[in-house]
Amino acid sequence: MRIAFRALFFALAAASLAAGPAVAQQKLKIGFITTLSGPQGVIGEHMKNSVELALDHLNRKVGGLETEVIYGDDQFKPDVGKQVADEMLKRHQVDFVAGIIWSNVMMAVSPTVTGAGKIMVGTNAGPSPLAGAQCNPLHINVSWQNDQTPEAMGKYMQDSGVNDVYIMAPNYQAGKDMLTGFKRYYKGRIVDEVYTKLGQADYQAEISQLRARNPKAVFVFYPGGMGIQFLRQYDQAGLRGQIPLYSVYTVDEITLPAVKAAAAGQWETRYWSPDLNTPANHRYVADYRRKYDKWPVFYGAQSYDGIMLIDSAVRATKGNLKDTKALVLAMRKADFQSLRGKFAFNTNNHPIQNFYLLRAVEDKASGEVVMKIQKTVFEAHKDAYYSECKMPW
Amino acid sequence: MTALVLEQALNGLQFGVMLFLLAAGLTLVFGIMNLVNLAHGSLYMVGAYLWVAGMQWTGSYLLGVLIALAGTLVVGMVVEVVALRTLYERDHLDQVLATFGLILFFNELIAILWGRSALYAALPGWLRGHIDLFGGAVYPVYRAAVIAVGLAVAGALWYVVARTRLGMLIRAGASNRTMVAALGVNIRLLYTIVFGFGAALAGLAGLMAGPIYAVQPGMGELILIQVFVVIVIGGIGSIRGAFLGALIVGMVDTMGRAFLKPMLGTVVSPTVADAAGPAIASMLIYLLMAVVLAVRPEGLLPARGS
Amino acid sequence: MRLPPRTIALCAALACLAAVPPLAALLDQPFYLDLFRRIMIFAIAAISLNLILGYGGMVSFGHAAYLGIGGYAVGILAFHGVHSGWLQWGLAIGGSALVAAAIGAVSIRTSGIYFIMITLAFTQMLYYLGISLEAYGGDDGMRLAARSDFSGLIDLADPWSFYYFVLAIMTAFIYITHRIVNSRFGMVIRAARSNEPRTRAIGFSPYPYRLAAFTIAGAMCGVAGALLVNHTVYLTPEFMHWTRSGEILFMVILGGMATSAGPVLGAVALLILEDLLTGWTQHWQLYLGLLLVLSVVFFRRGLAGLLPGSRDDG
């Protein structure tokens, strides 16, 4: 029995060793790393769906080459992400690595990829060091730099004359970055700056404090489940009609189905929305809804753009995957149809794009609560860190 | 200011009551069956999901509640019979490992059945809105209802444990399991009933949490540690201890989050208070537990005879 | 002299691990070198936990704290430009030992579930402390500026050297643990686990022995932390989260407590299983959960218990 067990065990290990890479052909391999398990897996699901849709739109040929996308699950852990990246680079020998939701995972994975001489296409996380002092020619971010979105909200609230605001975020790096970005453009009075515990479920205590201070407006950053909880409790406390609520990354197409009316009237800023008026976007949204029966979310839109960007670069080099320099140069031109319309790269390989004010409103036709663009806050906005990036452009 | 303190006190009470519902089931199971059940949070999750499903199916809030309670009771008893019976004689560690495996299993099962996104859960009209308390404080109706239900359940539990035959068996089992079996009581049935009972309590906590917290896979783990802290502070196997522990933890945590930073701000500079306040507030219940364990290692109100 | 089957099995396992780099090079799969290196680093953490858990009966849910302390010692020094491996690792070991002694001094007064909870509480506090250290990246964590420099003795940037370095440390720790548990000191600890009143009756107070073992285990895990941060070239407070402690705990339990081979087997089994399953399906947690439950129910003494030789002699 025991011998059989040990034999089985090592056989399993050997089998996985032997299941090596396919014989090298002129095939394009893209490694896509995201979070597919656990509660955050819903985000990864959207990103994967969008990548698949992009492949469908390209007839499964990115840049004219037969393409294989290998998906990896980082489990929201930097060291697992790094291991997955290692596996993709060394075992599957991918030509590009793309994806990554979380800043801390990106900080671990990007150097691994760029260190191996491959291009990292970030389709979500945009930590400031990689936009500034630690920028790298092989690291290209097609989504945004973390601070840009709250900067847009700060500017909007400043310009629209909101005198004082109560700001809240979870007590971790992203939370602090969001509030820092907000304060970079908002110069009014900050009634209070409150950090809550990461993953906290019950905000009643904070809401009571907030009500006692009676600010003119509230600005929060509560991604994922935290946002759902905060919104519901804010609504139940009766504050929805009394104190206007502004946020970033709190209300989106993933959390809306869980809160519905509790989010009505909420203001957000973003660089993309399902109703953004570009032909590529209309096609993307319509096809996504048809194929997956739900509204796409910005994580997905960015991943779609990431694949299209790779497509444009490979096309430009006529399928020469070995010439990394040429690929990077081609990517910098951003010569692809972004879902966001006007799109360009800055000298730090991060996007220059528009930011819009969105509002959660009830759609008359379907009765659903959806995000709709109200106005443009920033045109061709650059991030705050590009001057710290010393790489040659 | 008094209105704020009153509101926060109510918040602390409400959080404590929720913790109590979870802690009661867990401490009963630990005290009587000597079983460390990490999957207790999964039963809480099952309760929330069954409530949402029940409400969508029948269209009624109360029917949804009944379905959730009955459903969690059944699921609890099935899990006990199928998976947990073999673990009673085993080491606590083996129980920890096995019930952790159950957590992974349930989380993924729920994700397969309902997807990973959080579910939408609406309150019926008669539970929305808020009530005005004296001093200008305003409190959500739903939370007041949660407090009321929680206290009622606590009272009912006390009655069952102290005044009924079943309660007597439970107390006897917590004190001396072997003797109870020797006296001819069907111990296996008793265990299954107790476990189901504990599961139903967890399910109740889950369905009450549904409208205010996010109903998503993994929602149990977020609250699990706090529940363990409660039963350690209160004393393992003791329902009175769970009640006291839950109230203390609920109050300390809520008050800490609300008032620690302003209070710190009076003694140190605002920037230090800004950084230290939230950090200390999140560590507060752990510090509390360490203090209690140092002073009274068996908990505040330990079960007698254990 | 006939060696017991367990020792043979352990030596066979170590030989297999030693064969991985040349095999990987032969099959042109350098990834497996990284995978097994990571597995061995966690095996070292599991070995250190086994000392206090398997032999000492102290269920510490906070062992991952020392991974973090070891890692941060190396990371913080590297951040400030100190790259000497001697200094970094010295701080990692010393720091972990110190913190372990402090935490142990308080926790070892309790036992059972209370000990579990209090060790968990301490590790959570360290985790929240790590998150609030903004200078060192907070919860985003930070990159390791450069790998530890051992003044030319070992080049950690070379995959093979690093791999064999980890293997050597792991083998050394297995041996050290074996010697500790079979020494007089170890006997007191094991006696105290098996029957505490009787141990006291013969005149040994378990507390100082347990505290010493706890400190040693913490220091060993600090080494694992220093290795881990050199391996991932990145560290985050998440290394100290209680779920990580849980993972190490499971490796020890799954592998078989109070055995020399157990922690290694557990680490290999759990991490390879995870790697295989995640490659298969996104619902891998379903299968892992089921496997864990089944393995507890059927493999009563862990994987090492499948080997003949029922005495827990290591």
Domains observed in chain A: 26-144+278-345 (3.40.50.2300), 148-270+355-381 (3.40.50.2300)
φ/ψ of residue A353, rounded to 5: -150, 170
List pLDDT tens digits, range A356-387.
Answer: 999 999 888 888 889 999 999 998 999 999 99
Give A380 to chain B, closest Cα distance, Å: 33
| Residue in A with minimal Cα distance to B12 | A205
Name the token pair of C17. 């691990």
Helix, strand or coil, per DSSP, at residue C142 = strand
Percent of chain C with pLDDT over 90: 32
Q: What angle do CA A234, A238, A243 make, to 5 degrees?
A: 75
List pLDDT tens digits, range A165-194.
Answer: 999 998 877 888 899 999 999 999 999 998
What lies within 8 Å, CB to CB, of C228 at 6+ separation is: A79, C38, C41, C42, C67, C70, C71, C235, C239
Of A10, A87, A107, nearest to C234 by CB-CB distance is A107
Q: Among A45-49, B239-243, B287-291, whose mean pLDDT is lowest?
A: B287-291
What residue has token string 């710190």? B264
What lies within 8 Å, CB to CB, of A118 at 6+ separation is: A89, A94, A95, A96, A97, A138, A324
| Stronger pLDDT, C304 or C52, i.e. the higher one | C52
Would you state the pLDDT for residue C152? 74
Q: What angle do CA A142, A148, A151 make, to 5 degrees?
A: 165
Give me chain A's average pLDDT, please. Answer: 88
Long-range contacts of C15-19 (CB under 8 A, 24+ apart): C16/A10, C17/C167, C18/C164, C18/C167
Helix (H) / strand (E) element for A19: namely: none
CATH for the C5-306 domain, from 1.10.3470, 3.40.50, 1.20.1730, 1.10.10: 1.10.3470
Residues of chain A numbered 29-68 and touching chain B (CB < 8 Å) = 37-39, 41-42, 45
Question: Are A238 and B218 inside 8 Å of each other by CB?
Answer: no
Distance from the Cα of residue A238 to its chain's centroid? 32
Of B1, B12, B214, nearest to A225 by CB-CB distance is B214
Q: What is the largest CA-CA distance in chain A?
A: 76
Question: Across the beta sheet with A139-141, what order do the strands follow?
Answer: A61-62, A65-73, A28-34, A96-99, A119-122, A139-141
| Residue in A with minimal Cα distance to B14 | A204
| Whether the complex's predicted ipTM surpasses the cut of 0.85 | no
pTM of the model: 0.80
Percent of chain C with pLDDT over 70: 97
What lies within 8 Å, CB to CB, of C211 at 6+ separation is: C101, C104, C105, C108
Give me chain B's average pLDDT, please. Answer: 85
Would you state the pLDDT for residue B20? 94
Helix (H) / strand (E) element for C116: namely: helix C112-132
What lies within 8 Å, CB to CB, of B144 at 6+ separation is: B10, B131
Helix, strand or coil, per DSSP, at residue A369 = strand
| Residues, chain B | 306
Question: Are B213 and A229 inside 8 Å of each other by CB?
Answer: yes
| Stronger pLDDT, B252 or A237, i.e. the higher one | B252
Of B108, B116, B143, nearest to A204 by CB-CB distance is B143
| Residue in B with minimal Cα distance to A44 | B116
Q: Among A40-54, B121-135, B136-150, whose mean pLDDT is lowest?
A: B121-135
Question: Are C285 and B290 inside 8 Å of each other by CB?
Answer: no
Would you state the pLDDT for residue C1? 55
Q: Among A345-349, B88-92, B146-150, C248-252, whose mean pLDDT is lowest?
A: B88-92
In the predicted structure, residue A206 carries a pLDDT above the cut 70: yes
